[in-house]
Amino acid sequence: MEAAPTPPTALAFSGQDILLPGAGAPGLLEGGPAAALSRDFAWEGRSYRAFLFGEAEAAALEAGGASRLPVRQALAELGQEEARPLLRGLALLRWLETARHCGACGGLLEDCPPEGEEPGGRRCPACGRVFFPRISPAVILLITKGGKILLAHNARFPAGRFGLIAGFVEAGETLEETAIREAREEAGIEIGGLRYLRSQPWPFPDSLMFAFRAEWRSGEARPDGREIAELRWCGPDELPTIPPSGSIARALIDEFEAEARGRA
Ligand SMILES: [Zn+2]
């Protein structure tokens, strides 16, 4: 007798939240409402099926015992590695939402065959163009000056919260050029000594964050007054409210703090 294949692990999303089955409740998706979109994918040898539910369907699942948790909070609670399938599933669903029609001729896109040359893509049967998940690169900067780092209060942040200077890469730009431009535009300063640290996928909706360390070179930090409302140079003992765990900004600030305390 042939063993039945293991069913994929279901990941249910709505908006930027994950829906978790309630304790003792029946399977989240058995006999439940229909998902607007779904996508199968593999991660570290395991197979997953990600579902995206509309608000009404998500409310029905919640009424049936499911609980709803923002993916950003799940990142903080699960840790980076555990959360990777969530990031991938959400990124794929967010892309599928906008990958219905060909951007060139308007034809209805179809999934490329998984065994073909372009697995994971969506193909236009009318003109043959193939589209892949959109990924928007962005740079995030830990800028140091003496024993302090530059923290920025973005106008969209909750009151009192500070993060790091960050911005999207423009067409034709290198990551290093983005870093220099963002420091100039958002803070009015010149930086140097750029050192790449690492990256983090951030599917809200489709960013890939490249983290750099940089040193202040010249200029007085002045907020641009549009995106950035306030700037501060902070030592390890002067940190205001910073972004929650799970974000790369928080990890970089935590590392600076640990390093500064280790040196003291
Ligand atoms: Zn087309």
Report the SS3 class of residue 80: helix
Fold of domain 136-263: Nucleoside Triphosphate Pyrophosphohydrolase (3.90.79)
Counting residues of the chain whose pLDDT is more than 90, the rounded percentage is 71
Q: Which value, in Å, is the radius of gyration of the alpha carbons in the chain? A: 22
pLDDT in tens, 130-170: 999 999 999 999 999 999 999 999 999 999 999 999 999 99
Closest by Cα among 51, 39, 208 to 134:
208
What are the Cα distances from residue 181, in Å, to 52, 113, 130, 169, 228?
A: 37, 41, 33, 10, 14
Give pTM, 2 decimals. 0.88
Average pLDDT for consecutive 10-residue bins of the chain (264 residues)?
73 92 61 84 92 92 89 84 89 93 96 87 96 96 97 94 97 98 97 97 92 98 92 96 92 95 78
CA of 124 to the centre of ligand 1 (A): 5
Q: How far is the CA of 115 from the centre of ligand 1 (A)?
A: 22
The Cα 149–Cα 191 span in angstroms is 12
Long-range contacts of 26-34 (CB under 8 A, 24+ apart): 28/61, 28/66, 32/57, 32/60, 32/61, 32/64, 33/57, 33/60, 33/61
Do residues 179 and 139 make contact, with C-beta atoms less than 8 angstroms apart? yes
pLDDT, one tens digit per residue, over 237-264 is: 999 999 988 899 999 999 999 999 887 6
- How far, in Å, is the centroid of ligand 1 from the Cα of 123? 8
What's CA 124's distance to the chain center, in Å?
28
Q: Domain residues of the chain, as ranges? A: 9-97, 100-133, 136-263
CA of 169 to the centre of ligand 1 (A): 27
Q: Is the distance from CB of 17 to CB of 68 less than 8 angstroms? A: yes
- DSSP 3-state percent helix, strand, coil across the chain (nearest 5): 25, 35, 40
Distance 131 CA to ligand 1 centre (A): 10
Ligand 1 centroid – CA 120 distance (Å) = 17
